[in-house]
Amino acid sequence: MRVLVRLIGSLVLPVVLYLAAAALGAGLATNSGRAPPATGVRIYVADNGAHTDLILPAAAFRDIARPEHLADPRYGAEPYLAIGWGNRDFYLHTARWRDINLWRTAKAMAGAGSTVLHVEHVPEPRADGSVRAVLLRPEEYRRLVAYVRGTFAAGPVVRGYGTRDVFYSAKGGYSALRTCNEWTGGGLREAGVRMGIWTPLPWGVMLWL
């Protein structure tokens, strides 16, 4: 029984510590003195329960995210791009919740493998519980665009899950410390938006928005 308790403890304790650290990181905000502008560039942040995307005007990425990369180039006329970053192997093979594989998840969290940006051409979303609108000053928006553009890497384009999305090779390594949500939070911090100092989980990103 003692061996079993120790085994359970060795598995549960790291998870508890990770969640506690994530809560602390999300709760300690940077850019806390920022006042939202009255006018500016409207962006969105979307949360599907496990992953967050930045939804940005497509005009700033027309030279990178091109219509001919899509299975149906007509979607290249959409005004916004939903952009997410993550582990390549996990991202390419996990189109739906039921596709989640524990081995792929473990490898991604351990930092194995390269990364990609998932880019979906979408209409302007409507803000609701899972999608938050953020108004940025022009200089804040320029910093965010530079952050996202700086994540694109040279490499082959891979068709996405459907007709309006695609994967691009990305820079950086994914791990339990540097997750897809921390990438989103990092971009918002770089722009100057009030955001936790470490946001590995989606609720940490959405907390201040």
Bridge-partner residues for 167, per DSSP?
118, 158
Instruction: Show the low-confidence residues of the chain (pLDDT under 70).
Output: 1-11
- Going from the C-alpha of 105 to that of each of 18, 41, 48, 87, 114, the distances in angstroms are 16, 35, 17, 9, 14
DSSP, res 176:
S
Residue-wise pLDDT for 34-80, tens only, equals 999 999 999 999 999 999 999 999 999 999 999 999 999 999 999 99
Q: Which residues of 101-119 are buried (b: 16+ CB within 10 A; e: fewer)?
A: eeebeebbbeeebebbbbb
- Owning domain of residue 38: 2-206
- Distance of alpha carbon 167 from its chain centroid, rounded? 13
Domain total in the chain: 1
Is the pTM for the entire model greater than 0.85?
yes
